[in-house]
Amino acid sequence: MSKQSPQFRRVLDQFTGYKPGKSPAAPGGRSFKLSSNESPYDPLPSVAAVIAEAATQVNRYPDNTAAALTTAIADRFEVPPEHIAVGCGSVGLAQQLLEAVGEPGAEVIYAWRSFEAYPYLTDLANAASVRVPLRQDAGHDLDAMAAAITGRTRLIFVCTPNNPTGTPVRRAELEEFLDRVPPDSLVVLDEAYVQYVRDPDVPDGLTLYRDRPNVAVLRTFSKAYGLAGLRVGFLIGHQPVAEAIRKTMLPFTVNSLAQAAAVASLAAESELLERVELVVKERDRVRSELLGQGWSVPPTEANFVWLPLGERSAGFAEACDQAGVSVRPYQPDGVRITIADPEANDAFLAAAAAYPHRS
């Protein structure tokens, strides 16, 4: 009787799975979830109606090719349909990418700290993570990332703006970096927050992928488009890249409600982008109020702010939680706070002002 329980891959012992943002403890009174970078707004009525209509057909499998959604994405972003792959959120696409390149010996480069799905999905795919520390200003160290490339580098994630710091990568440095990446390594620009970018020096990845066969762009309907609960995202890359990604897709991975809602969201994009504009204004207000309170806050181009509190991160998050505001601590680096509507943001600012130890 040596083995008394089912045996699993040893890699599972080394990591803890993805930890989603907490909901607030809510000790009486209103509470606010600022821990998952979601849109604070309810679905648009036009989108909700499409979801309700699609719900009447869920006895049928979804369209495995997501034809209507693919066409809508192709039209909106002026790319050929063969360049598009859809997935179960961009996390699902990140997993598909890693499934497509992962094997013993394959290396995956990404900045750290960055999106916390990269490490465990890389582990799961049997590839090796090469983490390159962020610069002092919380931005990607693209020089060091280029220097980390080897003959085994299969995939490089560039998360811009970076989750959780909000720091974007700028056009000149990114182009210089891309020129240094060999053609057999794929660079994926993870642009989950692209709609919140206002800095004109931050490029739209779609302008960079067109003449670069080893560059692809990840986008999601979860954040600016407000469909986090439905799980749909897409990749745009050259045909061999999109095709490889489609091969690793779990059948029917984008459900029929998600497909319909995503098409409706592209149709209602201008309305959704008005909401994004409100969040951007609030982001700038929250950051300047925090600076006024004496915190150090790196500039952010996303729908969140970052407080580099080091070892005090967990304590700060706990204090916010007690005030009914859940934020996301990344002990021992910092705390990420999602920007929401003014009432929620004010609740957070009050909790921050009440916290005794400023940075």
Ligand X SMILES: *Cc1c(COP(=O)(O)O)cnc(C)c1O
Instruction: Based on the shown chain and the rule CB under 6 A, indicate whether residue 228 belongs to the binding site for ligand X.
Output: yes
Instruction: Based on the shown chain and the rule CB under 6 A, indicate whether residue 258 belongs to the binding site for ligand X.
Output: no
Neighbours of 355 (CB within 10 A): 18
Binding-site string for ligand X from residue 91 to residue 110, where x marks contact by CB under 6 A and - marks none: x-------------------
* Ranges within 64-83 binding ligand X (CB under 6 A): none
Could you tell me the two tokens for 5?
């329980």
Work out how close the CB of 113 gets to ligand X at its nearest, in angstroms, rounded to a whole number: 11
For tokens 């990845």, what's the residue? 205
Could you tell me the two tokens for 202?
């931050």
Work out how close the CB of 166 gets to ligand X at its nearest, in angstroms, rounded to a whole number: 11
Work out how close the CB of 295 gets to ligand X at its nearest, in angstroms, rounded to a whole number: 22
Contact 125, 99 (CB under 8 A): yes
CB closer to ligand X, 231 vs 312: 231
Helices (H), 78-116: 89-101
Of the listed pieces 101-109, 215-223, 281-289, 329-337, which binds ligand X according to CB under 6 A? Answer: 215-223
CB closer to ligand X, 39 vs 313: 39
DSSP assignment letter at 329? E
Collect all residues with Cβ–Cβ distance below 8 Å to 117 and sequence separation of at least 6.
Answer: 18, 91, 94
Q: Residue 74, exposed/middle/buried by CB under 10 A (0-12, 13-18, 19+)? A: middle
Binding-site string for ligand X from residue 144 to residue 183, where x marks contact by CB under 6 A and - marks none: ---------------x---x--------------------
Among 24, 32, 37, 345, binds ligand X (CB under 6 A): 37
Among 32, 115, 330, 348, binds ligand X (CB under 6 A): 115
Which H helix or E strand runs over 70?
Answer: helix 67-77
Contact 308, 138 (CB under 8 A): yes
CB closer to ligand X, 254 vs 307: 254
Instruction: Based on the shown chain and the rule CB under 6 A, indicate whether residue 216 belongs to the binding site for ligand X.
Output: no
Contact 36, 21 (CB under 8 A): yes
- Which residues contribute to the site for ligand X (CB under 6 A)? 37, 89-91, 115, 159, 163, 190, 192, 220, 222-223, 228, 233
